[in-house]
Amino acid sequence: MDTPELPQIYLSTPTSLDLDVYPDTLARVLDGAEIACLRLSLASTDEDHVARAADAVREVAHARDIAIVISDHVLMAQRLGLDGVHLTDAAKSVRAARKELGADAIVGSFCGTSRHDGLNAGEAGVDYVSFGPVGSSALGDGTTAATDLFQWWSDVVEVPIVAEGGLTPELIRTLTPCTDFFGIGDEIWSAEDPLAALNTLIAAMS
């Protein structure tokens, strides 16, 4: 009997980065755990700052053959040599992003807790749909994405799904059978040792 594949880790950066320190911290995490994809999730809209951060983080990720996407900045994704974009407006701009970035780019969509938005994003051509938060998190409006949503999606829909927001070892154990990726970010960056914090979450999968 085949053992089902475990979900992969989809890592998000903090929303603000100290570029003197963060690239080394990121490199340590990427070298110490298997990461499928990295998301640059900056709060800043200052183009110069975003570009500098993207250059630094891209260098670390691409040196390890890890794809990197950026939250929402479709045009910057292209200009900065990133691999795609993570959209936070559900299905609204998926088609435009796909048209702009082309068939080979990664286009993902955060759909909160809405199955309907997820299905629309899937029809519009996303590579993955992200639901969350699954635990208590600043993500979204405070409602959480229930395990039932992930179970239904994994049973019925072929588009890969990401569970993110407020992940704990307990939630990871619960969701491991019904998600493709765990979106992890804030859960580890506030820890003294981000890699140890990540490995604790990864261990909960098995």
Supply 28's token pair.
């340590």
Confidence (pLDDT) at 3: 55
Q: Which residues contact 72 (CB under 8 A, 6 or more apart)?
A: 85, 86, 87, 88, 89
The neighbouring-strand residues paired with 162 are 130, 181
What pLDDT is recorded for position 142? Answer: 73
Q: What kind and span of H or E run contains 68?
A: strand 67-71
**40: DSSP letter:** E
138 close to 132: Cβ distance less than 8 angstroms:
no
134 vs 20: CA distance, rounded Å = 32
Its pTM stands at 0.95
Give all domains of the chain, ordered by start, each with its CATH number. 8-203 (3.20.20.70)
Radius of gyration for the alpha carbons in the chain, expressed in angstroms and rounded: 16
> What local confidence, expressed as pLDDT, does residue 141 receive?
72
Q: What is the pLDDT of residue 45?
A: 87
In terms of C-beta density within 10 A (0-12 exposed, 13-18 middle, 19 or more buried), how is residue 169 classed? middle
Q: Mean pLDDT in runs of 10 for the chain (206 residues)?
A: 80 96 98 98 93 97 98 94 97 96 97 97 98 84 91 97 97 98 97 97 96
Helices and strands (H, E) in the chain, number of each type: 9, 8
How many other C-beta atoms are found inside a 10 Å radius of the C-beta of residue 45?
A: 9
